[in-house]
């Protein structure tokens, strides 16, 4: 359908049921979500010739609840898609080029005859588009030229995976336009990871992309990354008593790929000591028995980060079990233990050498004080900047927000809802 017909269909409620699945709070303010789509389609018309058929896609951000930096070592995680997403309007343009315009960020062009990695595109969105497109074509599908306009409310560099949402979104666009939706969500996640590792230049695990692509609140075991085991986890009992805040610390981590990369590098050094590729393949008892020798070979920080992995990997399993058994207090206790381990062992809270700006550590301290011994809090995602996570008693969410933002800045706290579905083609 053309853009005018698409707008009319949305206005009449033709896609209301689909949009309710994407946005748990849709019923509270349908016009808010519809107006966002109208804005996207208006931006498309402003920047591109109108296509014969317009297609609408969505991919959510994610929160990480358990398993901090375990995925790249083939460990266990607990994660969820959230009701913050990127939406894309796309249409064929009859050329051999991909044109991308992101509202608020600008545009780029990719020539389909030139999909090899570009050194000067490291850590750019162009590299991700090029990488995802390459993998789709490797799978035997022919990608034609298209225009895509993107609108996001997943803040960049915030720790709720704007990059993964973008990768998955581009994959879903290509899947819908050229693959007949044959690729599964997990396949799209792997394609996104490939683009991030080999084109963007960040040695990411697979958690962010999987959580965005699959949706819901899930426990994921990455022991076999070719077929990760994904298990939906009910949060009904947790949701009766607690709400989830993501708190912006005031410092982005978009430009911290180098310090992030040191974590998997050091963990793999420890694994290599035992002749293994990743820590999931190492026997913890053997590690503990050899820890003095490992320390001399790899250094203290690598050993501490390995300790974090072994304990955090089990914590992610225990957190999922606690939720499944409706042991909410036990779950919260483990979440806090995860946060302390990330600070002490993993060391992804403060960038080495920083004195004046320790935004994540400061935000954690403020959250701890505002919770007054209740709920839970921890560093969120890659760390070093971005966001922290707080699980807050429902009856204190207003006072918590007020107290935290008084010490940080207005708008620092964002209440998150779990999105039951991952990437999707709306129409």
Q: Give tens-digit pLDDT for 300-320.
A: 999 999 999 999 999 999 999
Tens digit of pLDDT for each residue in 270-304? Answer: 999 999 999 999 999 999 999 999 999 999 999 99
- CATH architecture of the domain covering 3-234+419-425: 2-Layer Sandwich (3.30)
Q: CA angle 139-143-149, nearest 5°?
A: 120
Class of domain 236-416: alpha beta
In DSSP terms, which residues pair with 248 in a beta bridge? 387
Angle formed by the axes of helices 3-11 and 30-47, nearest 10° = 170
Q: Residue 197 corresponds to which tokens in the numbers above?
A: 């590792």
Average pLDDT over all residues of the chain: 94
Tens digit of pLDDT for each residue in 381-395? Answer: 888 888 999 999 999
Q: Residue 296 corresponds to which tokens in the numbers above?
A: 């001399």
Find the range with the poorest average confidence among 144-158, 231-245, 247-261. 247-261
DSSP, collapsed to helix, strand or coil, labels residue 293 as helix
| CA dist., res. 160 & res. 166, Å (int) | 12
Domain locations in the chain as residue ranges: 3-234+419-425, 236-416
Reported as type and span, the H/E element at residue 79 is: strand 76-92
pTM, full prediction = 0.87
Q: Please check whether the two domains, 3-234+419-425 and 236-416, share a CATH topology.
A: no
Q: CA angle 263-75-166, nearest 5°?
A: 70
| CB atoms near residue 59 (< 10 Å) | 34
φ, ψ of residue 124 in degrees (nearest 5): -125, 160
């Amino acid at each position: 359908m053309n853009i005018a017909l698409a707008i009319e269909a949305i206005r009449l409620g033709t896609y209301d049921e689909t949009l309710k699945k994407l946005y748990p709070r849709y019923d509270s303010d349908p016009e808010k979500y519809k107006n966002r789509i109208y804005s996207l389609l208006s931006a498309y018309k402003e920047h591109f010739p109108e296509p014969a058929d317009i297609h609408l896609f969505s991919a959510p951000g994610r929160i990480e609840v358990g398993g901090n930096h375990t995925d790249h070592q083939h460990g266990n995680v607990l994660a969820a898609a959230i009701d913050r997403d990127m939406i894309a309007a796309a249409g064929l343009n009859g050329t051999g080029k991909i044109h991308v315009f992101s509202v608020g960020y600008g545009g780029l062009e990719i020539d389909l005859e030139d999909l090899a990695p570009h050194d000067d595109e490291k850590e750019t969105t162009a590299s991700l588009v090029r990488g995802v497109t390459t993998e789709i074509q490797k799978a035997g599908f022919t990608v034609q030229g298209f225009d895509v306009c993107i609108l996001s409310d997943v803040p960049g560099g915030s720790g709720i995976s704007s990059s993964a949402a973008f990768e998955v979104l581009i994959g879903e666009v290509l899947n819908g336009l050229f693959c007949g939706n044959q690729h599964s969500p997990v396949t799209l996640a792997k394609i996104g990871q490939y683009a991030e590792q080999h084109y963007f230049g960040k040695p990411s695990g697979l958690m962010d992309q999987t959580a965005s692509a699959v949706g819901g609140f899930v426990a994921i075991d990455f022991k076999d990354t070719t077929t990760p085991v994904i298990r939906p986890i009910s949060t009904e009992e947790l949701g009766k008593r607690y709400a989830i805040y993501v708190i912006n610390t005031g410092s982005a981590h978009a430009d911290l790929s180098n310090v992030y990369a040191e974590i998997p590098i050091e963990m793999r050094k420890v694994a290599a000591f035992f002749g293994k590729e990743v820590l999931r393949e190492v026997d913890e008892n053997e590690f503990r028995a050899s820890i003095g020798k490992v320390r001399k070979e790899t250094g203290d920080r690598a050993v501490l980060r390995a300790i974090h992995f072994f304990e955090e990997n089990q914590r992610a399993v225990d957190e999922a079990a606690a939720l499944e058994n409706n042991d909410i207090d036990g779950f919260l206790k483990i979440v806090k233990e995860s946060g302390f381990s990330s600070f002490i062992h993993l060391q992804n809270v403060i960038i080495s050498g920083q004195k004046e700006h320790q935004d994540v550590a400061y935000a954690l301290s403020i959250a701890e004080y505002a919770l007054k011994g209740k709920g839970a809090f921890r560093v969120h995602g890659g760390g070093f900047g971005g966001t922290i996570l707080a699980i807050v008693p429902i009856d204190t969410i207003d006072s918590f927000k007020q107290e935290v933002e008084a010490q940080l800045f207005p708008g620092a706290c964002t209440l998150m809802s779990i999105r039951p579905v991952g990437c999707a083609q709306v129409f």
